[in-house]
Structure 1
Amino acid sequence: MNKSDFNILIAEDQLDIAKFLKQGLTEEGYQCKVVRNGQAVLEFMKSENISLILLDWMMPKLKGIDVCRQLRAENILTPIIFLTAKDTVEDTIEGLKSGANDYIKKPFNFDELLARIEAHLRIHFKIDEILNIGDISINISKHEITKADEMINLTEKEFNFLVHLVKNKNQVCDRQSIIEQVWDIHFDYDTGVLDVYMNAIRKKLNLQKNELIKTVRGIGFIAQE
């Protein structure tokens, strides 16, 4: 599915924020609609096919928290992301318990918001996340790798190592960041283990030493076509 297949409802009473969100999401390729109060969300959901709701908490007529509860009570399972200035732990817990799928505090990072939107759309619509490099295809959702349509079996660590590099394609990934993000080790650790795993990955994928994945001496690795 393309981003243009998804219709995002922005429920936000602050005009500048609503305008910013609509412009940014539209530029990303999504369809967007804007409403300015909670009651309008409920009315809109009766007539429009909405893929995901960005929901402010403090809105006129009906608060976002009440909107969320009512939609869930009506068994409407459209993904809901709270986007709100209410920033206590108690608020977050209450928002999630009301049925929201996620909770982002204002001010927010737009790139993070995009990533969360994409993640919830993938989950809700059961969309496979596919990465490609050369003739290698990585289905993250199914934990499968194919090379020239042939299934390749990697261990979990090898799979996660390869995914990390391909997700950061054309960027050098330094050894310490790989250990921290793939191995979840946050202390001094012998990064020589990465060479062992990389040799295994290259062997299973039948790659030459610097084909698709290049070793950057003294720094780390880079995936590039």
Structure 2
Amino acid sequence: MASILIVEDEAAINELVKRNLQLVGHQCHSVFDGKTAVSKIQRQSYDLMILDIMLPGLDGFEVIKQSNETPTIFLTAKNSLPDRIKGFSMGADDYLTKPFEMLELLARVEAVLRRTQKTASCYETGNVKIDFSGRLVFHNGQLVECTPKEYELLEVLVNNRNIALSREKLLELVWGYDFEGDTRTVDVHIQKLRKKLGWEDKIKTVYKLGYRLEVGR
């Protein structure tokens, strides 16, 4: 997966972001001030930088000036329109304000990495292969017929692998806010994916919550 530099001076947020990115398979490096970030970027190439604006030493705007065009997501409490416009005008690929949902950050990371071609267009684990660009799923080399919602649910599980997702969150991410059904819809689709992919032991039921795709990083 990707090599990601996290530039955030609040230790708790830095660690939270790092742990969740590592759960889905990324390699992460943490720094806590702007000068150290610039030094890191000048010595090493990164696939993505997650960058706060309000930092000790150099602020995030100064860091991105010296980022060697490293793809960047601003993650900051500065949520005014002028700050957002400045961030994008300086070359940021995305801009997410605090407080934020971790799943949204993970989705934005995945989107930027795909857009910048810093992540693979396919994912493989065991005897299952997923071609994201073609929306194709293979099991033991054979094409698996998935409905659009089965595929979208599978992609959400893969992009958030090793993270527990509630049924409600899965409904929101796959079916949308305006879906009028209930969480049993998720259960039915999970059972179908387990059967089609032989993932009875990989898609774990999280008691009183939802599901987690448990795979190696």
TM-score (norm 2): 0.59
Out of 152, 161, 171, the residue aligned to residue 160 of structure 1 is 152
Shift of residue 95 of structure 1? 1.6
Work out whether residues 52 and 121 of structure 1, in 8 Å CA contact, stay in contact via their aligned partners in 2: yes
1: CA distance between counterparts of 2:13 and 2:172? Answer: 34
2:63 maps to which residue? Answer: 67
2:73 maps to which residue? Answer: 81
1:165/1:106 CA distance change after superposition, 3 Å: closer
Map 1:172-191 onto structure 2 (within 5 A).
Answer: 181-184=173-176, 186=178, 188=180
Query: Are residues 1:151 and 2:143 paired?
Result: yes
Out of 33, 36, 44, the residue aligned to residue 36 of structure 1 is 33
Out of 109, 114, 121, the residue aligned to residue 128 of structure 1 is 121
Q: Residue deviations 1:44-79, cap 9 Å, x none? A: 4222223322222133554322432x247xxx3312
2:45 maps to which residue? Answer: 49
SS at the partner of 1:82?
strand
1:78/1:142 CA distance change after superposition, 3 Å: farther
Map 1:71-110 onto structure 2 (within 5 A).
Answer: 71=66, 76-110=68-102
Work out whether residues 53 and 76 of structure 2, in 8 Å CA contact, stay in contact via their aligned partners in 1: yes
Shift of residue 127 of structure 1? 1.6
Number of equivalences: 203
Sequence identity (%): 29
Work out whether residues 79 and 100 of structure 1, in 8 Å CA contact, stay in contact via their aligned partners in 2: yes
2: CA distance between counterparts of 1:187 and 1:35? Answer: 41
Letter in 1 for 2:152: N
The answer for unaligned runs of 5 or more in structure 2 is 202-209
Shift of residue 168 of structure 1? 8.4
Work out whether residues 157 and 213 of structure 2, in 8 Å CA contact, stay in contact via their aligned partners in 1: no
Work out whether residues 55 and 83 of structure 1, in 8 Å CA contact, stay in contact via their aligned partners in 2: yes
Shift of residue 165 of structure 1? 7.1
2: CA distance between counterparts of 1:23 and 1:224? Answer: 20
The answer for unaligned runs of 5 or more in structure 1 is 213-220
Work out whether residues 34 and 63 of structure 2, in 8 Å CA contact, stay in contact via their aligned partners in 1: no
1:47/1:93 CA distance change after superposition, 3 Å: same
